[in-house]
Structure 1
Amino acid sequence: MQNKGYETIKNEIKNALKKHFDDRISSFSVFGQTDIPYTMFSLQFTAYNYFNVILNYDRGSFGCSIVNGDAGLGLKNSQQWYDEADLDVFCKELREQLELRIPDKFLEYHGWK
């Protein structure tokens, strides 16, 4: 199980996302964060100026969903446990899942394809 606190994990994930997505990602907000009785938090951000995405971290498990009202559309990713995760693979797979759902014309217009 992860021994790092939420602040450290949040910063590692946020930095990996910024590095991988560059100008394709913005507007980060964190909520529901705690280290007691266990580490958990939610990190919401805007991807491609097209989707609001939420990343949930709970006791070592993490993943993303596209925000759709009160619900989320889960995004598949092979990196499900933070302790074992390769954040480069996580970001690459997240990018693929998001770009599959965005029209090519939109990506081309912004120089992202």
Structure 2
Amino acid sequence: MQNRGYEVIKDEIKNELKGYFKDKIGSFSIYEQTDTPYTMFSMQFTMYNYFNIVLNYDRGAFGCAIINGEVGISLKSSQKWYDKADMTIFLKELEQQIELRIPDKFLEFHGWK
């Protein structure tokens, strides 16, 4: 995990998200990225054409939140540290947390349920 900059970690996470969610995830925007004095970045994307999500990575800790104005609604995950995370579990938990908040009719209409 050491000596890997935000570009590598960002690409890994982005590829995992795109591979798992396919057409359920929209375009990505990366901001506040740096490797000095430590590795951190934020990634924003749209999920299910319903919620804007931010994924924050800071010194190995990572997690997601639904963007709600100037604040975020944190999405619970058992995977807290990127270098120890099982991404399959992280992605499944993210999917569950998002789908719980979207009406079934909307998911069914788009063929996502």
Do both share a fold (TM > 0.5)?
yes
Structure 1's consecutive aligned runs of 4 or more residues displaced over 3 angstroms after TM superposition are none
The residue that corresponds to 2:24 in the other structure is: 24
In the aligned structure 1, how far is the partner of 2:30 from the partner of 2:43?
A: 5
Map 1:1-113; keep pairs closer than 5 Å. Answer: 2-113=2-113
**In the TM superposition, what is the alpha-carbon distance from 1:2 to its structure 2 partner?**
4.0
Root mean square deviation, CA, Å? 0.9
AA aligned opposite 2:72: G
Which sections of structure 1, spanning at least 5 residues, go unmatched? none
Give CA-to-partner distance per residue, 1:57-79, whole Å, 9 cap, x none: 00000000000000000000011
Q: Secondary structure at the match of 2:19?
A: helix
- Structure 1-normalised TM-score? 0.98
Give CA-to-partner distance per residue, 1:40-60, whole Å, 9 cap, x none: 000000000000000000000
In the aligned structure 2, how far is the partner of 1:57 from the partner of 1:72?
A: 15
Higher relative contact order (CA 8 A, sep 6+): 1
**In the TM superposition, what is the alpha-carbon distance from 1:28 to its structure 2 partner?**
0.4
Which sections of structure 2, spanning at least 5 residues, go unmatched? none
**In the TM superposition, what is the alpha-carbon distance from 1:3 to its structure 2 partner?**
3.2
Q: Secondary structure at the match of 2:101?
A: coil
- Structure 2-normalised TM-score? 0.98
**In the TM superposition, what is the alpha-carbon distance from 1:4 to its structure 2 partner?**
1.2
Report percent identity of matched pairs: 69
